[in-house]
Structure 1
Amino acid sequence: MFNNLSEKLDKALHTLKGHGKITEVNVAETLKEVRRALLDADVNFKIAKEFTKSVKEKALGQDVLTTLNPGQLMVKLVKDELTELMGGDTVGINLGGSPTVILMSGLQGSGKTTFSGKLANYLKTKKTKQVLLVGCDVYRPAAINQLRVVGEQIGVEVYAEEGNQNPVEISQNAIKHAKANGKNVVIIDTAGRLAVDEEMMTEIANIHKAVNPQETLFVVDSMTGQDAVNTAKAFNDILNFDGVVLTKLDGDTRGGAALSIKSVVDKPIKFIGTGEKMDAIDVFHPDRMADRILGMGDVISLVERAQEQYDEEEARKLQKKIAKNQFGFDDFLNQINQIKKMGSMKDLVGMIPGAGKALKDVDIDDDAFKGIEAIIHSMTPEERTTPAVINASRKKRIAKGSGTSVQEVNQLMKQFDQMSKMMKMMQGGGGRKMMQMMKGMR
């Protein structure tokens, strides 16, 4: 996420390293590089210029912060300015109305239909809402089928009318259907359209007028950069939408849309799509995104995701097993599955401070645990519950069954043993001892 921008900003801010104080000369040199990094990320020139001007004024106005060195101060100022540029505060979705009507708009290929499914899944699982997806793309033959597949995947009903070519009528009928069937959220997926297509823009304006939605969201493919921002302005002039959704942020996005769109349309970014899976959706937090762009990670979001997967009853059972030295490979597999549920590995690594930078050239994909899982699945039930029985001949059989080598099986056994010992130590007084040891090493 924003890897190129992060790398360039990191280099720019290193310009101040070694300087005793902030001067106009070294600030100008650093901010020239910051502006160049923003422009390379496809941020509008005027916005990039205003951004660096604001940072410069604040930097030269600082005369007290004696505890910070110039580099740290500049990072803080750039972080604060990035946060403001992306909206400042987190803005949630409006779930008022009975039912809540959410109208999705955007260009063709922006990921609107997929995101409609992600939003439905988010509202169903996180907000316990009864959701109805509505197919109003009457032009693209596969659109309704795509929405039905998505709906089936997440267990959400899809409303569509075969043969009806009037999306205004379909959306009104869908709301009646929702009221009659106890649905409290209606998400209307409209046809992708070009801002220059006057007829299509009039159509979505008519849908908007007819259903009077609580939320109108504009879906933007973040990889299209500045073009997306210009299109957002054209759509906003017609719809006066409530918020923006940035999709495909897991790709090699340049970041221009995320950094510029709030300044251009004065509407908040409400959600981001971070992968292909139906749970790859995050509420947009400007301050956390600024941290990630500057390589500071996003520990808060990481903890929140971990808490979502945390099961107190399972945790108690696990503690008992660890205390009795009964922690086995099935338990290890369960822990892996909990991590996988938290999101894509690349995204999770980006949330760990410094990890994104340290592993920038390492290809981390969602199959990172595939080899480990194959080895465990090749074990017998006895071997999983009592790893001590795994001898040399068993290792050969496990390696052959999992398509791995004995060396890889040995490596997993060693890692498992180390992890078991650490968990045992952390359960007793070892946790305190470890903290004391770490303090002594400072």
Structure 2
Amino acid sequence: MAFESLSERLQKALRNLTGKGKISEADINEASREIRLALLEADVNFKVVKDFIKTIKKEALGKEVQESLNPGQQIIKIVDQELTKMMGEESVTLNKAPHIPTIIMMVGLQGTGKTTTVGKLANYLKKNENARPLLIAGDIYRPAAIDQLKQIGADLEVPVYSEDNQDVPEIVKHGLAEADKNKNDYVIIDTAGRLEIDEQLMDELKRITEVAHPENTLLVVDAMTGQAATKVAEGFNQDLDLTGVILTKLDGDTRGGAALSVRAVTGLPILFTGQGEKLTALEPFHPDRMASRILGMGDMLSLIEKAQQDYDAKEAEKVAQKMRENTFDFNDFIDQLEQVQKMGPIDQLIKMIPGMANNPALKNISMPEKQIDHTKAIVYSMTPAEREDPDILNPSRRRRIAAGSGIAVAEVNRMIKQFKQAKEMMQKMTSGNMKGLENIPGMNSPMGKMAMRSMSKRFKKSKKKRMKKIKRFHS
């Protein structure tokens, strides 16, 4: 899991401060020392760490404590803010051309997952912007690179332009003419990589740039390379004027150094992160949400967005309305369970909930298919009335359901309890009301409390954006 070691170390350093009524300079120095070690161990650039610690100490010693926070929580807030600044503060989107197509050139070293990321980005644009992208196969050197891109295109039902030609800029020129003819609104150019930056590679990329004039030149970087990724970014940026970075393999055994160093060292924004092999596994990068995840404060906004991305706006609003009106029932629950399966591994989803990240009780938790089948069997053994009104599930009804599904009564009881807890939490989240969430396990932790304050503010901002989308859909 990305950042797991760093997250544990930082939380441990901050946990020692949260229970204190007053914090001395010695306490701050001790916490700063632990934070410095955690960041260096995560392979964050040394100068970035030095500046980060200097700012933390200055802010912590000179800041008046807010009435709503104790001194320890105040320092957590400072660390959260500075982590966010380190990674870029605001999320950055693709540059758009004033006319179609918008051209994106993807560059990077071999082994970073560049060709797969081309497909992920095409899928993201197709799904989120209803775009009609064209992919250009510009990697003529790596064996099977063109075949790989063609297969990705076939899977996504996205056209791929390729030629049996050794002049890549000429291939790109013809591909752009094809996009112009077919009115594609995006063109994504897959380019060759090398094991290291060399003159021949950079010369070819410069010539492609002269032909294509891309609005976006995105460097694909393997997050597992740590701060070495910043050197790669600097090398490419000297010749190509990069517009942003996509971090891949963020779900792997990465220490987090790349995500925390790239923006601070190069000034280049991280636009997307890749977390998994599937073509759906690409997410916009939000510095504030990533900082919250690292500090164990969760990321409920991303979780909500994940839950909504497979619905159209009308269906998403319908589910949210049922949550608000407390009419969400077991029929809806089965539909949602199937959606959760599409969203990704359950352990990653749980860690987006405040207070749940690095919770020892949730270590290595998963939801195997067998358990999902058990849950469905329980619901299918209920009568229509029971599915619509869970409150009527008294002990005798539960025993009948257990017998009908072939599952122990204790497991039936546990599932019903979990359903009610999830329903309560999501009802509050969809209404923007955080009151009462502190009773949910994990929410009452220092990180959970901080998360709820932060989440409440972010939710109000994001809610306005969601309502605009819904209005546009209905109009």
TM-score w.r.t. the length of structure 1 is: 0.83
Q: Which residue of 1 aligns with 2:55?
A: 54
Q: Which residue of 2 aligns with 1:138?
A: 140
Alignment of 1:240-259 (within 5 A): 240-259=241-260
Shift of 1:244: 0.6
Matched, 1:198 2:167: no
The answer as to whether partners of 1:195 and 1:235 remain within 8 angstroms in 2 is no
The answer as to whether partners of 2:378 and 2:412 remain within 8 angstroms in 1 is no
Aligned-partner SS, 1:79: helix
Matched, 1:100 2:102: yes
String of CA shifts for 1:86-108, please: whole Å, max 9, x gaps: 11111111122421110001111
Aligned equivalents of 1:100, 1:387: Cα separation in 2: 52
Q: Which residue of 1 aligns with 2:356?
A: 355
Q: 1:395 to 1:108 in 2, by over 3 A?
A: same
The answer as to whether partners of 1:136 and 1:189 remain within 8 angstroms in 2 is yes
Q: Which residue of 2 aligns with 1:91?
A: 92
Shift of 1:383: 8.1
Matched, 1:339 2:343: no
Matched, 1:165 2:166: yes
Q: 1:111 to 1:385 in 2, by over 3 A?
A: farther
The answer as to whether partners of 2:118 and 2:188 remain within 8 angstroms in 1 is yes
Aligned partner of 1:118 among 96, 103, 120: 120
Matched, 1:207 2:208: yes
Aligned equivalents of 2:198, 2:424: Cα separation in 1: 66
Shift of 1:419: 6.8
Shift of 1:26: 1.7
Matched, 1:308 2:309: yes
Shift of 1:415: 4.9
The answer as to whether partners of 1:195 and 1:201 remain within 8 angstroms in 2 is no
Shift of 1:335: 2.0
Residue type matched to 1:371 in 2? K
For the pair shown, which has the larger CA radius of gyration, 1 or 2? 1
The answer as to whether partners of 2:402 and 2:412 remain within 8 angstroms in 1 is no
Q: 1:422 to 1:303 in 2, by over 3 A?
A: closer
Aligned-partner SS, 2:309: helix
Q: Which residue of 2 aligns with 1:280?
A: 281
Aligned equivalents of 2:35, 2:422: Cα separation in 1: 44
Q: Which residue of 1 aligns with 2:186?
A: 185
Q: 1:29 to 1:172 in 2, by over 3 A?
A: same
Q: 1:250 to 1:176 in 2, by over 3 A?
A: same
Identity of aligned residues (%): 44
Residue type matched to 1:48 in 2? V
Aligned equivalents of 1:183, 1:277: Cα separation in 2: 24
Most deviating of 86-95 and 351-360: 351-360
Aligned equivalents of 2:70, 2:34: Cα separation in 1: 19
Structure 1, unpaired ranges of 5+: 399-405, 427-434
Aligned-partner SS, 1:357: coil
Residue type matched to 1:355 in 2? M
Residue type matched to 2:162 in 1? A
Aligned equivalents of 1:8, 1:423: Cα separation in 2: 29
Aligned equivalents of 1:17, 1:323: Cα separation in 2: 36
Aligned-residue Cα RMSD (Å) equals 3.7
Aligned-partner SS, 1:37: helix
Give the aligned length: 421
Aligned equivalents of 1:150, 1:199: Cα separation in 2: 28
TM-score w.r.t. the length of structure 2 is: 0.78
Q: Which residue of 2 aligns with 1:402?
A: none
Shift of 1:43: 0.7
Aligned equivalents of 1:327, 1:248: Cα separation in 2: 36
Residue type matched to 2:370 in 1? G
Most deviating of 244-253 and 414-423: 414-423
The answer as to whether partners of 1:372 and 1:412 remain within 8 angstroms in 2 is no
Aligned equivalents of 1:41, 1:204: Cα separation in 2: 32
Aligned equivalents of 1:207, 1:158: Cα separation in 2: 17
Aligned-partner SS, 1:107: coil
String of CA shifts for 1:135-184, please: whole Å, max 9, x gaps: 111011211111122112222111111x2122111111111111111211
Aligned-partner SS, 1:355: coil
String of CA shifts for 1:393-432, please: whole Å, max 9, x gaps: 998997xxxxxxx446x56644555578889999xxxxxx
Q: 1:300 to 1:373 in 2, by over 3 A?
A: closer
Q: 1:267 to 1:381 in 2, by over 3 A?
A: closer
Most deviating of 28-37 and 152-161: 152-161
Q: 1:62 to 1:238 in 2, by over 3 A?
A: same
Shift of 1:437: 9.3
Aligned equivalents of 1:64, 1:379: Cα separation in 2: 51
Q: Which residue of 1 aligns with 2:239?
A: 238
Aligned-partner SS, 2:187: strand
Most deviating of 251-260 and 20-29: 20-29
The answer as to whether partners of 2:119 and 2:279 remain within 8 angstroms in 1 is yes
Aligned equivalents of 1:437, 1:393: Cα separation in 2: 33
Shift of 1:325: 12
